Amino acid sequence: MFLDDSLSHIPHPDWLSDGPLTPLVPPFITRLRSQHYADRTVIAYVNCLAHFGFWLKNKGLEQSSISPALIKRFLQHHLPNCHCPAPCRSAGSDMPAALKHLLKCFPQNGISQPTIAEPIARELERFGAYLSNTCGVAPVTRNRRMHDIGAFLSHQFGEQAPVTAQISGEQLEAYISQLGSHLRPASLRTVCNSLRSYLRYRALLGEPTAVLSNALPKIADWRHTALPKVLSDKELSAFLVAFDCTDPMGQRDYAIARCLVDLGLRGQEVTDLTLESIDWRRAVLTINGTKSKRVQKLPLPEFTGEAIAQYLRHGRPQTNNRLLFVRHRAPFGISLSVSAIRNSMNRAFVRCGLRDRYCNTHVLRRTAATRLQQAGTSVKAIADILRHQSLDTVRVYVRVDLDTLRAVALPWPGGQS
């Protein structure tokens, strides 16, 4: 039997020893062991795996059928109405976590890519290289745009080589109208942005694409009709004292919160910080993991530096990992994920009684920008600190300064002066 002695007492070992998941169990257990998960957690996850394998076998599905979409179907449709033989793992957070580890045992993290004709695949490869090397976009953005363009080119050309000159404005409009029947405006706007990016790429290659770009509709964006939601001074003070700085994890989360509030870092930028990112003598923080992949140096504020130093001296566990913020629980030896940072900040919002108003980490970035604006910092300086290439992105914060806006506002025609 492939299970070690500590796991041999799972309720249904036959669900794993004779099923589509059989070859995946050893690497699955090895993965959990290598990340120092406790025995009871490994047993729980293997039980979850057995349940999933039993379901696959009853459905007549093979290992090749496993995908994120299939796992989502299992979690959302089977588990709520599960009638599998007891005892089986059918509830709680263990099942999604276990199946997430299962996907990691597949090549390319178990994410199956749609079949794309070879000429279109080569075009997407060149477009992806342009996005990464010329535009410097983040991998997530690059993959999103490649996915959108792959779907469009496959729809337009099938298995033939894509030729931009054969695309008409009417065809673009028809394609967007078809997507509009089932996509939300925000998703439709993302597709249009991907198409504009591709047309700019073709224009750099000498092709006339201005007419096609003008044919793309402008999807209404209502996100900036209201003032950005930010923490008041009182709320920010309550948030910062919500961390237990006598606890190692509390020290880590407080240092992360200072990075988010004082420097306006993104969650991904925080996860990419290393021990070498800080020049203590010059009080400079070097950011390598920006969205544009550009290295940027920022002054390290006193409170931020003190919080990080406290964590390094008294809270950070012994590890060979050079990343600044690391996990304190299994899996050890890896950096915090963006979702882990988000969850730690949300727990702080709960402790200070603000969870009903705020969530996520981006509100802290907006708060940092607003505090800079209220301190008299110029829009250009705020854009530089937040690492925005366009001033339009940060002009929203000008509207927060209501006192200055009242001073320059003209009276409404016909109203009282």
Q: H or E element: which one contains 191?
A: helix 185-204
- Active-site residues, by number, are 266, 291, 362, 365, 388, 397
Of 213, 183, 180, 190, the C-alpha closest to 144 is 190
What are the residue boundaries of the structural domains of the chain, listed by start?
A: 5-110, 118-215, 233-403
Q: H or E element: which one contains 32?
A: helix 25-34
Do 233-403 and 118-215 have the same topology in CATH?
A: no
Q: H or E element: which one contains 104?
A: helix 94-104
What is the CATH number assigned to the segment(s) 118-215? 1.10.150
Token pair of 74, please?
């299992």
pLDDT tens digit at each of 417 positions of the chain: 444 544 555 666 777 777 788 888 888 888 888 777 887 888 888 888 888 888 888 888 888 778 888 888 888 888 888 888 776 665 567 888 888 888 887 754 444 445 678 899 999 999 999 998 888 787 778 888 998 999 999 999 988 999 999 999 999 999 999 888 878 888 899 999 999 999 999 999 999 999 999 999 888 777 666 677 889 999 999 999 999 999 999 999 999 999 999 999 998 899 999 999 999 999 999 987 656 567 889 999 999 999 999 999 999 998 889 999 999 887 776 788 888 899 999 999 999 999 888 888 889 998 998 888 888 888 888 888 888 777 767 777 666 665 665 666 667 776 655
Distances (CA, A) of 385 to 118, 201, 381: 43, 29, 6
Note the pLDDT of residue 153: 94
Burial classification of residue 256, based on how many CB atoms lie within 10 Å of its CB (0-12 exposed, 13-18 middle, 19 or more buried): buried
Please tell me the CATH superfamily of domain 233-403, with its number: Intergrase catalytic core (1.10.443.10)
Note the pLDDT of residue 163: 93
* Longest distance between any two alpha carbons in the chain, whole Å: 87
The dihedral of CA 231, 235, 236, 242: what is its sign? negative
With tokens 């727990």, the residue in question is: 347
